[in-house]
Amino acid sequence: MKTDWNLIREVLNAAIDTCEGLERAGYAEEHRSQTVQVNGQQVSVQDFMISAWTLPENARYEVIRARHEKNLDLPYVPESARILTAVAAACAELVGADDAPPAELYMRGMINWYQNHFDPNVQRALSSAP
C-alpha cells in the first residue's frame, strides 16, 4: 500500500499555517461578523471559518468516492490513519493553551517515543520479517 506522504504533509502544514495566521492576526469570536469583499460579494469571517472545517470534511468524502471508483475501498482504517487522527486530536487540544501548553512534557515524550522507540523498533522488527 503506497501513500503520498508529501501531499499529506503539505495539507497539514497549510492548515497549521492558516491556524497560526489566525492567532497572529488576533482572531477572536467577536470577529466572526467582520466581512471582506471577495469577487464582488461580502463574505464574513464566520463564512471562512465554516468553510475551513467543512472543506476537509468534503475532501475526505471525495477521497472515499475516488477510492471506491478505483476499487480501492478500505476494509478497515489503516493503523497509520489512526495514528494521524489521534495525534491531530491531541494537537488540537493545544490550540489556545498558551505559550507553556499543559502536558507539554507528555507531548514531547510522545515525539521522543515515536522517533526513538516506535520508529527504530518497528523498523527493526519489519526488516527481520520473512
Q: 30 in helix, strand or coil?
A: helix
Note the pLDDT of residue 129: 83
Are 46 and 34 in contact by the 8 Å Cβ rule? The answer is: no
Side-chain half-sphere exposure of 118, counting CA atoms within 13 A:
9
Residue 17's pLDDT is 97
Q: What is the pLDDT of residues 49-106, one digit of tens each?
A: 999 999 999 999 999 999 999 999 999 999 999 999 999 999 999 998 888 888 999 9
Instruction: Taking residues 39-50, report their average pLDDT.
Output: 97
pLDDT digits (tens, 9 = 90+) for 2-37: 999 999 999 999 999 999 999 999 999 999 999 999
Tell which residue, 56, 55, 33, has the closest CA to residue 44.
33
pLDDT in tens, 29-39: 999 999 999 99
Task: Write down the pLDDT at residue 101.
Answer: 84
- Give the predicted TM-score (pTM) of the model: 0.86
